[in-house]
A and B are shown apart, each in its own frame.
Chain A
């Protein structure tokens, strides 16, 4: 097993072997999470602080549960409500927390690169739970685990990532991870929501769903991030749904056994038809949530091992 990092800031610095290490360990934790006694002691005695500078229910709950199941002392801090309003800088907040001797710091921030900056200023291990439009590594890892478990492999698959790529850190981390594992990645969406320069990433870009989904093994839908749009990316939600919303007709272009994924929360009737999302034969959306806890347990476990090795 190999995992070198002190932090988990993004997929970009990870080696494929490290990705496999996290996924293999996460597989074991899936078993634990399904057992009647869901407890291990990998993080016993360690303090985990979840710092969320941006609203989150699902990711924060997932990290919290992951830490508790491994025996860590977990604290949640809603940063929007506290010192930020009083004008404290990110660095000051980091130094204050650092003085409390946490071991694991889980951070979400609305600005790209903010978690990297924070990691430079603290002594503990930092996990990026999403920074701006940059990266969301645990989401990409849980997606990878979901794909691997349902397709039996994580290479040479045709994977379409569809919708609001421009505002999505999930898309960036997934493109990096799936590329590293040698998959064929396609981006499908209206050109206004495809970042300029995306074609240079080693992906194929489509603005037509039917063509983009042709022969795909995996269809990954993204949430239309209405809160990040300051105007005029798409003409209307109904036109978006008509052209890019995933319904049975569009899904028919993908392979018969193609799976449907979504990082949640979903806008039903905007990017995805409710019946597709609920179709247990196609949709793995609930499984993604389950894998999320396991992947986060694995990531924190590995980081804690490196912390202990460093201290020893």
Chain B
């Protein structure tokens, strides 16, 4: 069966274009894109001049299955993803228990297949139990479908263990995703150090801890030759190290979070725990530097780092409250803030949210070219709304954007040529 998406504003991150046109899909695969006279098709979807872009590939989604289904399940995460234009959730391994054996990974894949309307690309832990002592069965886990290896936001403090894991991963050409952070400095911290943290009396970490972590990891990459992705670069001072590593030809990429691109440390205000994330929100100077680094391509990917937390984990004094924010449904509207502020174009945004993550993980999606899967998001970048967290589909409602005026709504989401979300219901 063929489907024609006509009258669309095509956002093509590969070509770097944002132009009117049509897209033809056949058997779940994109077959042709063009302008002018439209080809014949079995079905026609009129985009009404709205944007059509490759579906978002979100690296670092926490689904909370197994272990914490009261916070999020494959069903609720999948629905939230579809509503947010995320067509592939690259899921985290920091569940309870950790996803560190092929058996647990198979459970995840099966559960996702049963319940999630969008695709799942699971990550596996890098060390057993994410304890930083022994590497996981990287070979078996690759065979079971792991797309990358990561202990989430836990830093492997034992550099010898990490160097062995990197060396072994290199032999299998596996991608390792790490959280660059000097663990001694950041231990116990809940905000970034500076005037604000000191005034509020909150335990704080210097932004320099991120650069120290990155410096160590890059040295290990140089030593081992592993394929490395830094999950979140959020500070200006970490950027020169990243730039040098790329110039030196190491296989290094980096991501950042939508929250670090759109919020700063002052948003914490009077101890608002929904703004407690890891790493903590940074200064406005850092935020602007990171936006620029995404624009230049130095930072490759933008993710939501969707981290569901129930009310009980957040309704605590700031130091005790859990870290993390949900983001699947707000990633696209938050990204539109950067578009409307004329800091990033739509092709630049979708390069970082769809094309680059797919490329880095070796997935076929993230593009509009012939042969790619028909994973698509149709959206209106201008549609205004006020976010009400209780209207979100995610089981946990811990969003920092509650009550905020936003622009940009997902109209339809398609996965493999099938419609999985329609704003009209």
Contact = CB atoms under 8 A, between A and B. Distances in A.
* Best-buried of A111, A114, A198 by chain B (most CB within 10 Å): A111
B143 interface: no
Nearest to A169: B201
Nearest to A167: B201
A201 B201 CA distance: 13
B282 to A, nearest CB: 14
A236 B195 CA distance: 28
Given A90-B317, A117-B317, A169-B201, A197 B193 contact: yes
Contact of B197 (A90, A109, A117, A197): A197
A79 interface: no
A113 B318 contact: yes
Contacts of A200: 194-195
Contacts of A196: 193-194, 198, 204, 206
Given A112-B202, A132-B201, A169-B201, A90 B316 contact: yes
A113 B319 CA distance: 9
Contact of B201 (A89, A91, A172): A172
Interface string A190-202: 0000011110110
**A117, A169, A200: most-surrounded residue (chain B CB, <10 A):** A117
A107 B243 CA distance: 50
Interface string A115-152: 01100000000000001111100000000000000000
A201 B318 contact: no
Nearest to A176: B199
A113 B271 contact: yes
Contacts of B312: 89
Contact of A198 (B198, B200, B206): B198
Interface residues of B, number: 21
A116 B202 CA distance: 14
Given A196-B193, A196-B206, A112 B198 contact: no
Interface in B304-325: 312, 315-320
A117 B320 CA distance: 12
A244 B126 CA distance: 48
B317 A109 contact: yes
A200 B194 CA distance: 9
Given A116-B270, A117-B271, A91 B198 contact: no
Interface string B190-234: 000111111111101010000000000000000000000000000
Nearest to A168: B201
B88 to A, nearest CB: 37
B202 A113 contact: yes
B195 A112 contact: no
Interface string A171-196: 01000000000000000000000011
B86 to A, nearest CB: 33
Contacts of A111: 317-320
Contact of B199 (A117, A131, A132, A201): A201
Contact of A112 (B193, B196, B318): B318
Contacts of B271: 112-113, 116-117
A132 B312 CA distance: 21
A112 B317 contact: yes
A91 B316 CA distance: 8
A114 B194 contact: no
Nearest to A198: B198
Contacts of B315: 89, 91, 117
B317 A172 contact: no
Given A90-B316, A112-B271, A112-B319, A134 B206 contact: no
Most chain A CB atoms below 10 A, which of B200, B312, B315: B200
A172 B202 CA distance: 12
A134 B317 contact: no
A109 B316 CA distance: 12
Contact of A172 (B196, B199, B206): B199
Nearest to B268: A113
A114 B317 contact: yes
A278 to B, nearest CB: 31
Nearest to B311: A91
A139 B317 CA distance: 22
Nearest to B187: A230
Contacts of B204: 196
Contacts of B206: 196
A155 B198 CA distance: 25
A47 B362 CA distance: 66
A197 B200 contact: no
Nearest to B318: A113
Contacts of B198: 172, 195-198, 201
Nearest to A136: B201
Contact of A134 (B194, B195, B201, B320): B201
A89 B322 CA distance: 14
Nearest to A194: B198
Nearest to A131: B201
Interface in B285-333: 312, 315-320
Nearest to B191: A112
Contacts of B200: 112-113, 134
A198 B320 CA distance: 24
A12 B270 CA distance: 11
B316 A89 contact: yes
Contacts of A113: 200, 202, 270-271, 317-319
A197 B316 contact: no
A75 B193 CA distance: 39
Nearest to A173: B201
Interface of B: 193-202, 204, 206, 270-271, 312, 315-320
Given A89-B312, A172-B201, 4 more contacts: A113-B200, A117-B271, A131-B201, A172-B198
21 contacts: A89-B312, A89-B315, A90-B316, A109-B317, A112-B201, A112-B271, A113-B200, A113-B270, A116-B270, A116-B271, A117-B315, A132-B201, A133-B201, A134-B202, A135-B201, A172-B201, A195-B193, A196-B193, A196-B206, A197-B198, A198-B195
Across the A-B interface, give the 8 residue pairs with the lowest CB-CB distance, nearest first.
Answer: A113-B271, A133-B201, A134-B201, A195-B198, A111-B317, A197-B195, A114-B317, A112-B201
Interface of A: 12, 89-91, 109, 111-114, 116-117, 131-135, 169, 172, 195-198, 200-201
